[in-house]
A and B are shown apart, each in its own frame.
Chain A
Amino acid sequence: MAGRLRRSWDKHKYAWGMVIPVVLVLGVLVGYPLYRGVFLSFTDANEQNVAATIGALHVPDSFSFVGLRNYVDVLFGPNTKFWSVLGRTVVWTISCVFFHYTIGLALAILLNRQVRGRSIYRVLLILPWAVPAFVSAFAWKLILARDNGIVNHVLGQLGLGTFDWLGNDTLAFVSVIAINIWVGVPFNMVALLGGLQAIPSELYEAAEVDGASPWQRFWHITFPGLRTVSSTIILLGVIWSFNLFAIIFLVTRGGPGDATQILVTYAFSAAFEGIRDYAVAATYGILILGVLLAYATVYRRALRSGGEVW
């Protein structure tokens, strides 16, 4: 056994040596919080019973183990909002990823042509990516403000009336989705543009010789050529959107009411607003992780049956 381990080490020492720093850093910074989250989700920990140091006085933990009660309450309790918030999160994720991808693809195809001023367009179109999230949030709040926002100003001048973009339940949800689309399109566009440039132009020339229509060329060359890029950015896009905290939190804080609350922001408000309920927040965190893991497994299986491995 020891000998086998030793041979294994000799064979793989460079590989292991090179990944050890990452494993250590992630193990401590992600592993510990994860362990702690799982642990807290089986307790009734809240602000009042976790260890705290008040001045010179140290109060130890006094919460107790409650087994699966938090999960039962969150999933099946009479007042739980889990399912409605999950539903909203799914709508949010699908709309964001769908528009990120389609708009990103359309712009990438336009930018991939011989067009004058292409590099200027590219710089301008990638710009939203460079803007820090809270600046984007502030900019959009300024633009969509009910009383002096430019959008309402223009609509008013056109005689179309004004809207309470961030104050009405439905409009607020549509608005945060639109803002996040604005934020996320550049990444998709750039990734897809890279994918387009990797497709050999001989394929298009051959197709043209064979008399393929533009639509046929798109469907039979462009789309399959982008398969790997697409599967990666859709996978990551779903995970990122599902967990996207900054935009909703900075623009609406989940309001009005709970109208724009998705699972992460909802869990965060459980953990940091009112009486801080760490146990429920941790339970939500673990459930979010569970949903995403299930998704990634299914997605990977689907890709694999399509002949791809990663």
Chain B
Amino acid sequence: MSTPRKRGERSPAASTALHAVLLLASFIAVFPVLWVLVISLRPGFAGSSEVHVFEPSSFDNYEYVMAKTKFVSWFGNSISVAFFTTIFGIFLSATAGYALSRFRFPGHRPLMWTFLVTQMFPVAILIVPLYNLMNKLGWVNTHASLVFAYCSVTVPFCTWMLKGYFDAIPAEIDEAGRVDGLTPVGTFWRLILPLARPGVAVTAFYSFLQAWGEVAYATAFITSDDKKTLAVGLQTFVTQFKQEWGFLAAASILITIPAALVFFFAQKHLVAGLTAGGTKG
């Protein structure tokens, strides 16, 4: 301690070390995706042992994957499944989360427990009974079956998070709404939900990602080719050509892009959203 420094100021050495650690961590975080991107731009990467990163790149793999598959309709299917999962899931978890946050009612604690316990069910084992159930309801091979199945996964976590978020909003706001003659539902819809927008953004992000890349349920429930989601469709297409890693790489990038876009817009809210959910959880 030779010269006293103000809080937040660092010596050049400490600053370099800080950046070095962050750069290394960022590299590890990004490298796998970048590597898939590199492979996807290399024509004819069929398991050769030499990897030339600086060879001229081409979009052959992408053209092939998009031309030979029902890419456009699969893409649309994925979007609509992910969209409805997000909307429906948020509707369910926001209403329940608000009730859990503001009211003490009989069933309050058991319900909180249930949300935790449902996270404990091994999804891999729920698939068979869930498939039987969908079969009885006549929902096999519909997108609705996927939306409901994904909601059963996302809703417990989202409710927990949103409850934490609502807890952070002062109860005086509710009282003010009540004084102005709003019903509890009106208070929730007009006052609280808009205030909880960052929390909603986080849960929306989470739900969208869950639905977007999911393969297990989507493989089991969807039987006809034109109803497949992108992840399932591209995967089944590519596994027909076992050695064509280039196609699989291109398909992976195509699936990652929309998720990354949603993520990019949601990430600003992520920190604020998870704070409230986590600290008050």
Question: Given A25-B155, A194-B272, do A37 and B125 touch, yes or no (CB 8 Å)?
Answer: yes
CB distance A124 to B249 under 8 Å? Answer: no
Min C-beta distance of B207 to chain A, whole Å: 13
How long is the Cα–Cα vector from A221 to B53 in the complex, in angstroms? 48
Contact among B33, B117, B125 for A285, CB-based, below 8 A: B125
Residues of B within 8 Å of A8, CB to CB, are 106
Residues of chain B with a CB closer than 8 A to A124's CB = 26, 29-30
- Given A30, A132, A205, A289, which contacts B152 in the complex, CB threshold below 8 Å? A30
Q: Is the CB of B39 within 8 A of A29?
A: no
- In the complex, whether B87 has a CB less than 8 A from a CB of chain A is no
A288 interface contact, C-beta 8 A:
yes
**Residues of A contacting B128 in the complex (Cβ-Cβ under 8 angstroms):** 271, 278, 281
Q: Are B124 and A125 in contact (CB under 8 A)?
A: no
Q: A121-B26, A232-B281 are in contact. Are A150 and B51 (CB under 8 A)?
A: yes
CB-CB under 8 A from B51, the residues of chain A are 148, 150, 153
State A285–B125 Cα separation when bound (angstroms).
6
Give chain A residues whose Cβ lies under 8 Å from the Cβ of B267: 122-123, 126
Residues in chain A near residue B33, CB distance under 8 A: 127-128, 131, 135, 139
Neighbouring A residues of B74 by C-beta, 8 Å: none
Q: Is B47's CB under 8 angstroms from A138's CB?
A: no
Contact B112–A14 (Cβ < 8 Å) = no
For A194, the chain B residues whose CB sits under 8 A away are 271-276, 278-279
Residues on A with C-beta less than 8 A from B259 are 130-132
Residues in B neighbouring A198, C-beta threshold 8 A: 275, 279
Chain B residues whose CB sits within 8 angstroms of the CB of A177 once the complex forms? none
A22-B159, A30-B121, A198-B275 as given contacts; A143 in contact with B29, CB under 8 Å: no
Residues of A within 8 A of B274 (CB): 190-191, 194
Question: Judging by beta carbons under 8 Å apart, are B248 and A138 in contact?
Answer: yes
Kindly state whether residue A212 has any CB partner on chain B within 8 Å: no
Assess whether B116 is interfacial by the CB under 8 Å rule.
yes
- Chain B interface residue bracket vs A: 35 or more
- Collect the chain B residues with CB atoms within 8 Å of residue A190's CB: 270-271, 274
CA A282 to CA B118, docked complex, whole Å? 16
Report if B72 contacts A (CB, 8 A): no
Choose among B28, B107, B108, B120 the residue with the greatest number of A CB atoms under 10 Å from its CB: B120
Asked if B7 is an interface residue, CB under 8 A from chain A, the answer is yes
Contact A12 B213, CB 8 Å, known A123-B267, A147-B47: no
Q: How far is the CA of A16 from the CA of B159 in the complex (A)?
A: 15
B252 within 8 A of A: yes
Question: For B32, what are the chain A residues with a Cβ–Cβ distance below 8 Å?
Answer: 128, 131, 136, 139-140, 142-143, 182
A21 touches B92 (CB 8 A): yes
A 39-53 binary contact with B (CB < 8 Å = 1; else 0)? 010000000000000
Contact with B along A60-104 (1 / 0, CB 8 A): 000000000000000000000000000000000000000000000
Q: Look across to chain B and name the residue whose beta carbon is closest to the beta carbon of A235.
A: B116
Contacting residue for B123 out of A40, A121, A245, CB 8 A: A245
Most chain A CB within 10 A, of B103, B119, B271, is at B271
What residues on B are CB-neighbors of A265 within 8 Å?
Answer: 124
Q: Which residues of B contact A293 (CB under 8 A)?
A: 117, 120
Knowing that A12-B103, A246-B215 touch, tell me 9 more A-B residue pairs with CB under 8 angstroms: A16-B105, A21-B91, A126-B263, A129-B263, A132-B212, A142-B32, A190-B270, A197-B275, A285-B122
